[in-house]
Amino acid sequence: MDLLEYQGKQLFAKHGIAVPSGEVASTVDDAVGAAERIGYPCAIKAQVLIGGRGKAGGIKIAKDAGEAREYADAILGMDIVGPHGEGPFRVDRVWVEGGSEIAAEYYASIILDRGEKKLLAMVSSQGGMDIEQVAAESPEALVKRHIDPTRPFEVAAAREIVADAGLAEDALDEAAQVLVKLAGVASEEDATLIEVNPLIVTAGREVVALDSKVTIDGNAVFRHEDLAEAADAVDDPQEAMAKEKGLTYVKLDGNVGILANGAGLCMSTLDVVAQAGGAPANFLDAGGGSKAEAIVNALEVIVSDAKVTAILFNIFGGITRCDEIAKGIVTASGQIDLKVPLVVRLDGTNSEEGLRILAAADLPDLHQEKTMLDAARRVVELAGGAS
Partner 1 sequence: MSIIVGTETKLVVSGLTGREGSFHGLRNQAYGTDLVAGVTPGKGGQDVEGVPIFDSIEEAVDEAGANTSMIFVPARFAAAAIDEAIESGVHTVIAITEGIPVLDMLSTYWKAKEAGVRLIGPNCPGVLSPGKANVGIIPAQFFDPGPIGVVSKSGTLTYQIGNELKQAGTGNSSIVGIGGDPIVGSDFIDILKLYEEDPETELIVMVGEIGGDAEERAAEYIAAKVSKPVVAYIAGFTAPPGKQMGHAGAIISGSSGTAQAKKDALEAKGVRVGQSPTETAAIAVEVLKSL
The answer to whether 246 contacts partner 1 (rule: CB under 8 A) is: no
Smallest gap from residue 248 Cβ to partner 1 (A): 5
Residue 262 in the binding site for partner 1 (CB under 8 A) = yes
Q: How many C-beta neighbours within 10 Å does residue 84 have? A: 10
For position 267 contacting partner 1 by CB under 8 A, the verdict is: yes
Which residue among the candidates 106, 107, 249, 369 is catalytic per the annotation?
107
Is residue 150 a contact residue for partner 1 (CB under 8 A)? Answer: yes
Helix (H) or strand (E) run with residue 155 in it: helix 155-164
Nearer to partner 1, 60 or 345 (CB): 345
Does 26 contact partner 1 by CB under 8 A?
no
Continuous segment of H or E residues that includes residue 201: strand 191-202
Minimum distance from CB of 75 to partner 1 (Å)?
21
Contact range with partner 1 by CB under 8 A, out of 19-27, 152-160, 283-291, 297-305: 283-291
| Binding status of residue 272 toward partner 1 by CB under 8 A | yes
> 9 to each of 24, 98, 259, 345, how far by Cα in Å?
12, 14, 38, 48
Closest to partner 1 by CB, 25 vs 295, is 295
Burial string for 45-68 (b: 16+ CB within 10 Å, else e) reads bbbbbbbebeebebbbebeeeebb
**How many residues in the chain?**
387
As beta bridge partners, residue 86 has none
CB-wise, 309 or 351, nearer to partner 1? 351
- The SS3 call for residue 283 is strand
Question: Which of 67, 190, 305, 324: binder of partner 1 (CB under 8 A)?
Answer: 190
Shortest separation between residue 285's beta carbon and partner 1, angstroms: 4
Query: Whole-number minimum distance, CB 137 to partner 1, in Å?
Result: 15
Question: Rounded to an integer, what distance in angstroms lies between the CA atom of residue 95 and that of residue 329?
Answer: 46
Query: Which range touches partner 1 (CB under 8 A), out of 4-12, 206-214, 305-313, 369-377?
Result: 369-377
Percent composition of the chain: helix, strand, coil (DSSP 3-state, to 5): 40, 25, 35
250 forms part of the interface with partner 1 (CB under 8 A)? yes
* Binding residues for partner 1 restricted to 59-118, rule: CB under 8 A: 82, 84-86, 112, 114-115, 117-118
- Pairwise CA distance, residues 270 & 111, whole Å: 30
Contacts of 233 (CB under 8 A, 6+ apart): 4
Catalytic residue, chosen from 5, 23, 97, 195, is 195
Binding residue for partner 1 (CB under 8 A) from 275, 370, 386, 387?
A: 275
Minimum distance from residue 318 beta carbon to partner 1 (Å): 4
Those residues whose C-beta lies under 8 Å from the C-beta of residue 176, and which sit 6 or more positions away, are 155, 156, 158, 159, 161, 162
Q: How far apart are CA 221 and CA 314, in angstroms?
A: 31
SS3 61: strand
Q: Let me know if 195 is a catalytic residue.
A: yes
174 is known as an active-site residue: no
Report, in Å, the least distance between residue 279 CB and partner 1.
Answer: 9
Binding mask 301-340 for partner 1 (x = CB under 8 A): ---------------xxxxx--------------------
Q: How would you label 202-221 residue by residue, b for 16+ Cβ within 10 Å and e otherwise? A: beeeebbbbbbbbbbeeeee
Q: Which is nearer to partner 1, 32 or 344 (CB)?
A: 344
> What is the rounded CA–CA span in Å between residue 94 and residue 96?
6
Residues with a catalytic annotation lie at: 107, 195
Binding footprint of partner 1 on the chain (CB under 8 A)? 2, 49-50, 82, 84-86, 112, 114-115, 117-119, 132, 149-150, 186-187, 190, 192-193, 217-220, 222-223, 248, 250, 252, 260-268, 270-275, 280, 283, 285, 288, 316-320, 347-349, 371-373
